[in-house]
Amino acid sequence: MFDPDTAAFLRSAPALPTLASDRIPLELTEAYAQLVTARLREDPAEPPARARLANIADTYELIAVVSDDKDDKRASAFVAATAQQILAKGVSEALADAGPLSRDEVHPALAACLLFLAAEQYPDANEAANALPARGESSAFTVETLLSESILALAKGHLLDILNRARRRGSLGASPEVLPAEATSLLYAALLDGVELLASELLAQPHPLVDTVRFERSGAAFDRVLELATLEHPSAFGDRTLTTTYPGPAHLARLLKGAGETLGEASIQTLPPPKGADEGIWKSWLAHRAKTKPLLWPNHRSALKSGFHETGRSALLTLPTGAGKTTVAEFKIAGVLARKQAVIFLVPTHALADQLRDDLAEAFPDEIIDGSVTTDFDLLLQSLAPPARIEVMTPEMCLARLSLGETAFDGVGLLVFDECHMLSPAAGSLRRALDGMFAVLGFLKATPKADLLFLSAMVKDGRDFADWIHEQTGRQCLLVDPIWKPSRQARGVVLYEAAKVKTILASATSARALAGTKGLGKAAKAHLQARPYVLFGLQHNWNNAGTTDITISELLASDVSLDGTVGPTGPYLLPNANVVSSAIATASAKQGLKTIVFVTTAQQTITNAARIAEALQKLGPHTAFELELRSAIEEEMGPSGQSLVPNQAAAVPHSADLLPIERRLVETYYRRKDGASVIVATTTLSQGMNLPSEVAILSGDKRADLAEGGREALKAHELLNAAGRAGRAGHLANGVVILVPEAILKFTGKVPDNNAKEKLRSILPESDRCIELDDPLNAVLDYIQTSAAAPEVSYVINRLQGDAVDRLEDLKKRSFASFQARKKSDETAFASRIGALKVALDASRTTPWTAHILELSAQSGAAAGILQTLADRLSATEPLPQDVGGWIGWMTDWFAAEPLAAELLGSSEAAARSAVKIKKTANLTPHWPTLKKALEAWVNGRPLAEIEVLLGGSVETYPHCPRAREIATDLATRGFSYAASLVVQVLKAQREAAGQDTDQNPVTGYLATAIKRGFNSQDLVAFAMETKGPLTRVQYHRAHEKAGNAAQRAFGTAPIITITLDD
């Protein structure tokens, strides 16, 4: 459950007579696992772990406040707070109704907040603050309630709220007239002074009531309360002394003093600007950040101490999942923006680009950075957008921009590459790795003075890569790899009692014999019911032969339905992973736990979400924003269409099949506290997903192997990425990961089978760092040497066209592969492999293509032959189309006439086939007229239901419009718009070569953007840029038409776009 750093920190706490220090992480993990599984199975009995945890919390809290040893205090504070946090969700109703502060007590949630702060575990403190019940509207507004609210704000990092709240002290209720109660309130009032002063110190600004506050420093207030809270005076009975004490204020003063001693070092206000940064911009950004994130996490302090954010330094940051990679990267970004340079931020998927754009826009407001954060790079080419200071894009988009020439990144001072393990083929996609590596090489060449920042949780050993970047830039490249993480997961696998498995299989076999069926049959399968258990590992580095660091817990209160089939030796069991996962998710949701279920296909997200939602209550009324999103979806779908997101369902799907507006609705539902309890998502979307959950369920560890048939195991990084969604720093410090494997795992007594232990190790390795960075060029060179056919070989050869000698020499000298070869003293073998690539390159150049065609081939990766046919067709067309619809017709006619040209669509060619429902091997040529009508309807703003009909689908039978979704989520928005950009580039290159005006055809300036966004004019493209709000394509069309009609009524001259659907 705990990373090695955190486990070591816990073990550094003093031992107790009943608890050895080295057992602390294991005891906390086991207790957490027991409490969560007891909750899932709705066990009314009090788990033994609860009383044990309560004792640990109380004992270590006392050590934390009375010990004089600084290290013991910090470690004990963390142990106590963690134990209290695990117990927090089980706080009794009596305690929940009690006031937060009294003469004799401090609420455990308040204590946990301050203990976490003292232990420098700020994300945990943030979450612990949520455990205190909110003050009711009818509750008295007293100094105690104001103090507790200020402490919670301190734990959440909302320091400005504390100072704003200080101005309300004049409206506090009158102090009690009973002397002890009045004294208690006076002591708490002094502590409130201290908390407010602490906030002002951390913000580096004066207290708003500086003339009336009674202390100069926060520590003075805490010390004074400690002095006054306990008083010894003579007794009237002889020589005895009488001690008067106020234990509540005294204990809180000690807790606040411990927290205050560590907070000063964590304030961001003391961080100086990097070299060359404008101090005013830097301080303005720090002040903005301090409103929500005033404190530096320990790992961020370590990273900043390395100086990675300084000007002229590049870095590879390998922080664990949930450890705030993007958060700490913002300091590097802020320094670059303060030097008035721009930032390029690369992410692996378009969905993640949208999510990150919103996060970065919040972190860097327009008024501070004097510009915007955008993902719409293609719009920027038309000078229609405000200046972008941060551009979020995929590596493929970065490559497209590099193709515009070496000035394309002028003014850029930083490239951030998120999830940089995708540069290695081991991450799953050789083509994606090649695009990423070509983007890095191209950026290094185009912008040699810029810094680079690489982020990943999965990179195993990045030293060689960092050294390579150092060699390329001639400047330092740091490897920053702290292993501490602020969130923890108890990870386990589902298994069953061996005796029960044997019994139900025997019963099913008998039922089959009685029924006389060839397969198991329905009657036999009815016997396949068993109670699921879960095997938890209690630490990362556990002993495979022992049982002291694993535990088995009953998972649910009822049996689940397994599946089975008949093999050569008779019937055997199948895991029925989706049904079992749904049962676990349902139990989790009924207990109020936010849950994510990961499945392997988009269709499974829909069926599993529906299965789970059927067992749960519907959500309450929508929020106003949700209604706005729902209305936008309805307009995009059309009256007869239907969203994939069911209305008010407590379990919702999340996959690439969803429209962007649907994904936004799903995420809004889920983030709402009383919203959807369960998201069912594909494992491919786990990469970078920022949706905190308390329970993550992995439904199966295999998927269909599309290339070879059968089933293939999910890769380690896919499992670990999905597992990392449980728990999220500052939201949910602790989470549970449960894998339902595609094998029936068993145990006998308390001892699991060996294969169960091995399966557990797949989600609980010693480290999540499982991918070694390797240049994808090495894989391509291997293919060439073994004469293996691979599309990536042709792709690399295309990228080397044009000035091929220089490009090949560039790879030989500058590539990461060449660096790796030199590091291994393997230069001769590498030169030989490059020689083989040259032979393949020469063999590809049997036709003397023109220089600009070869250059475009190198820039785009497209085959020169296809680009030449494109150029020839453009030359033979007179006149060229003058509007978006005309170009769509021209392109679809070209694809029909030149079937090989469909290669330009890339993976979107499969979407085209799906849109017209033909097999992947079928001839696409006769279907281009149908696709033409659909694409024209797309840019003319027609709803998806109408596009579905144009594609030959039935909205009555398939109201989700699966064919039209292929246009909306893939073909138009990716492949076809990309192909359009190549058409524009070839046309421009032709005209430049002929000395002609490149602006003769204005529509080409926005063609790719218009197709991608579903627009049919430059006016509409510009209108979309200027119009704020979550509008969809159809809404933009209607709003633009409405605006045009209003303008015409007012002035009689405004152009109107007429939207028609061609027959």
| Residue 1061: predicted pLDDT | 31
In a domain, 716, yes or no: yes
| Residue 379: predicted pLDDT | 47
| Residue 384: predicted pLDDT | 43
How many whole angstroms separate alpha carbon 1010 and alpha carbon 208?
53
Is residue 977 located within the same domain as residue 1054? yes
| Residue 801: predicted pLDDT | 85
Higher confidence at residue 1050 or residue 727? 727
| Residue 956: predicted pLDDT | 95
Question: For the ranges 52-61, 664-673, 802-811, which has the lowest average pLDDT?
Answer: 802-811
Helix, strand or coil for residue 1006? Answer: coil
Is residue 839 located within the same domain as residue 887? no
How many whole angstroms separate alpha carbon 182 and alpha carbon 186?
6
The alpha carbon torsion through 1025, 1027, 1032, 1033 (nearest 10 deg) reads -50
Question: For the ranges 149-153, 453-457, 535-539, which has the lowest average pLDDT?
Answer: 535-539
Task: Give the count of domains, the chain.
Answer: 5
DSSP state of 98: S
Question: Burial of 624 by CB count in 10 Å (0-12 exposed, 13-18 middle, 19+ buried)?
Answer: exposed
Query: What domain range includes position 716?
Result: 577-742
Q: How confident is the model at residue 234 (pLDDT cuts 50, 70, 90)?
A: confident
Tokens of 519: 């397969």
| Residue 330: predicted pLDDT | 96
* Whether pLDDT at 969 is above 90: yes
Task: Convert the pLDDT of each residue in 614-671 to its tens digit.
Answer: 999 999 899 999 999 999 999 999 999 999 999 999 999 999 899 999 999 999 999 8
Beta bridge partners of 346: 393, 417
| Residue 315: predicted pLDDT | 97
| Residue 356: predicted pLDDT | 87
Is residue 348 located within the same domain as residue 460? yes
Work out the number of other CB atoms within 10 angstroms of the CB of residue 557: 12
The mean per-residue pLDDT over the stretch 675-680 comes to 95
| Residue 674 · residue 632 · CB < 8 Å | no
Read off φ and ψ for residue 204, nearest 5 degrees: 55, 45
For residue 710, the domain's CATH number is 3.40.50.300
pLDDT, averaged across the chain: 87
Question: For the ranges 122-136, 453-467, 867-881, which has the lowest average pLDDT?
Answer: 122-136
In a domain, 351, yes or no: yes
Is residue 460 located within the same domain as residue 581? no
The proportion of the chain whose per-residue pLDDT surpasses 90, expressed as a percent, equals 55
Give the angle subtended at the CA of 845 by the CAs of 841 and 850, to the nearest 5°: 125
In a domain, 435, yes or no: yes
Please list, residue by residue across 671-708, b when 16 or more beta carbons sit within 10 angstroms of its beta carbon and e when fewer do.
eeeebbbbbbbbbbbbbbbebbbbbbbbbbbebeeeee
* Whether pLDDT at 608 is above 90: yes
In a domain, 766, yes or no: no
Is residue 470 located within the same domain as residue 385? yes
Beta strands 451-456; 314-318: pairing state? parallel
Is residue 717 located within the same domain as residue 850? no
Is residue 432 located within the same domain as residue 568? no
* Whether pLDDT at 1058 is above 50: no
CA distances from 203 to 198, 263, 364, 1039 (A): 9, 11, 19, 45
User: Which of 222-231, 422-431, 956-965 has the highest mean predicted lDDT (pLDDT)?
Assistant: 956-965
- Residue that is written with structure tokens 């950009």 in the block: 981
Beta strands of 600-721 (E only): which ranges?
651-654, 678-682, 695-699, 702-704, 711-713
In a domain, 994, yes or no: yes
* Whether pLDDT at 155 is above 90: yes
Tokens of 885: 């619809």
Task: Convert the pLDDT of each residue in 988-1036 to its tens digit.
Answer: 888 888 888 777 778 888 999 999 999 999 999 989 888 877 789 999 9
Of 713, 742, 771, the residue at which a domain comes to its end is 742
Higher confidence at residue 12 or residue 50? 12
DSSP string, 829-856: HHHHHHHHHHHHHHHT--S---HHHHHH
* Whether pLDDT at 954 is above 50: yes
Of 553, 575, 597, the residue at which a domain comes to its end is 575
| Residue 179: predicted pLDDT | 62
For 955, residues 6+ apart whose C-beta sits below 8 A from its C-beta are 638, 640, 641, 945, 948, 949, 961
| Residue 820: predicted pLDDT | 94
* Whether pLDDT at 1049 is above 70: no
| Residue 1025: predicted pLDDT | 81
How many whole angstroms separate alpha carbon 195 and alpha carbon 166?
10
* Whether pLDDT at 94 is above 70: no
The mean per-residue pLDDT over the stretch 955-976 comes to 96
Helix, strand or coil for residue 14? Answer: coil
Is residue 641 located within the same domain as residue 571? no
In a domain, 6, yes or no: no
Higher confidence at residue 142 or residue 162? 162
Closest CA to 420 of 459, 374, 394, 446: 459
Helix, strand or coil for residue 13? Answer: coil
Is residue 602 located within the same domain as residue 551? no
| Residue 696 · residue 598 · CB < 8 Å | yes
Task: Convert the pLDDT of each residue in 175-188 to its tens digit.
Answer: 555 567 888 999 99
Task: Convert the pLDDT of each residue in 116-140 to its tens digit.
Answer: 999 999 888 988 888 776 665 556 6
Is residue 989 located within the same domain as residue 966? yes
In a domain, 507, yes or no: yes
Q: How confident is the model at residue 407 (pLDDT cuts 50, 70, 90)?
A: confident
* Whether pLDDT at 867 is above 60: yes
Torsion over CA: 989, 991, 996, 1000 (sign): negative
The mean per-residue pLDDT over the stretch 240-256 comes to 89
Helix, strand or coil for residue 220? Answer: helix
Is residue 990 located within the same domain as residue 937? yes
Of 680, 710, 742, the residue at which a domain comes to its end is 742
For 377, residues 6+ apart whose C-beta sits below 8 A from its C-beta are 391, 393, 397, 400, 401
The mean per-residue pLDDT over the stretch 595-600 comes to 93
| Residue 741 · residue 575 · CB < 8 Å | yes
Is residue 538 located within the same domain as residue 438? no
Biggest CA pair distance of the chain: 117
How many whole angstroms separate alpha carbon 441 and alpha carbon 817?
12
pTM here?
0.86
For 96, residues 6+ apart whose C-beta sits below 8 A from its C-beta are 133
| Residue 380: predicted pLDDT | 43
The proportion of the chain whose per-residue pLDDT surpasses 70, expressed as a percent, equals 88
Q: Give, for 69, the enclosing helix (H) or strand (E).
A: none
Q: Give, for 417, the enclosing helix (H) or strand (E).
A: strand 412-417
* Whether pLDDT at 533 is above 50: yes
In a domain, 823, yes or no: yes
